[in-house]
Amino acid sequence: MKLLRIGPKGAEKPAILAEDGAIRDLSGIVDDIGGATLSDASLARIRATDLGTLPRLEAGERIGPCVANVGKFICIGLNYADHAAETGAAIPAEPILFMKATSAIIGPNDDVIIPKNAIKPDWEVELGVIIGTEARYVEEADALDHVAGYCVVNDLSERHFQTERGGQWVKGKSADTFGPIGPWLVTRDEVPDPQNLKLWLEVDGHRYQDGTTGTMVFGVAHLVSYVSQFMSLQPGDIITTGTPPGVGMGIKPEPVWLQPGNVMRLGIEGMGEQQQSVKAYRG
């Protein structure tokens, strides 16, 4: 299934993308897409619904973040061998974890605002993993049982804040609008192998990133298991799993940074596309 949320910011309705391309309103079935809605039992109830009986939502309405009320937005750094190489970093022996503020989350096609005092804003297409049931100290063999589904994430970064202002990476990752997610939550039954997905990103029509999840250093099952050793994972938490090469900071001979007026397009095979216009901060 492809689940999404439709409507103005703060007033989104839960919805499903039917096989005929129609968007159907799930408000009569679930309160929202998030939390307990992501359990296997709740998803089974949605799956058993006759979609033809549900109200059809108008095409062209705003698509909101595909998950509501995200508790934790957990990021994995340098998790693609070819991306680590382009940055000159060593391949990590264990996953690098950092957090992204949930206040960064926006819809997949909402505007991205370059934060005040930014110098080096950058892009990163990533596979997001959405937790469906609580995971605590889970084994890798059981880890995917705790996944509700997957989505496209643009893990936007301000590299000056991230690497030149001291402390942890979270400062460069958490600006408002730096976490577009969606358009859909694609349930795990539609993604038999999360390590065999193509993902890409373009800025103003130029393709900078064109990779595959097959070059991840640590796969999705390992990451869910690993993170669960340090904190419980709750329904609606998101783990964004790293990016392939082609980020702005890795462009040779000179890095390329996002500028007001740029348009980003990005997507993952089977998970839809995002498009964001880049705007300057106006205060």
> Over its length of 283 residues, how does the chain's per-residue pLDDT go in tens digits?
999 999 999 999 999 999 999 999 999 999 999 999 999 999 999 999 999 999 999 888 999 999 999 999 999 998 998 777 777 778 889 999 999 999 999 999 999 999 999 999 999 999 999 999 999 999 999 999 999 999 999 999 999 998 878 778 899 999 999 999 999 999 999 999 999 999 999 999 999 999 999 999 999 999 999 999 999 999 999 999 999 999 999 999 999 999 999 999 999 999 999 999 999 999 8
Report the candidate in 113, 110, 105 with the shortest Cα–Cα distance to residue 281.
113
Q: With the C-alpha atoms ordered 220, 224, 226, 230, is the resulting torsion angle positive or negative?
A: positive
d(CA 283, CA 281): 6
pTM for the full predicted model: 0.96
Domain ranges of the chain: 2-53, 73-280
Taking the domain 73-280, which CATH number applies?
A: 3.90.850.10
Report the candidate in 191, 186, 179, 233 with the shortest Cα–Cα distance to residue 65.
179
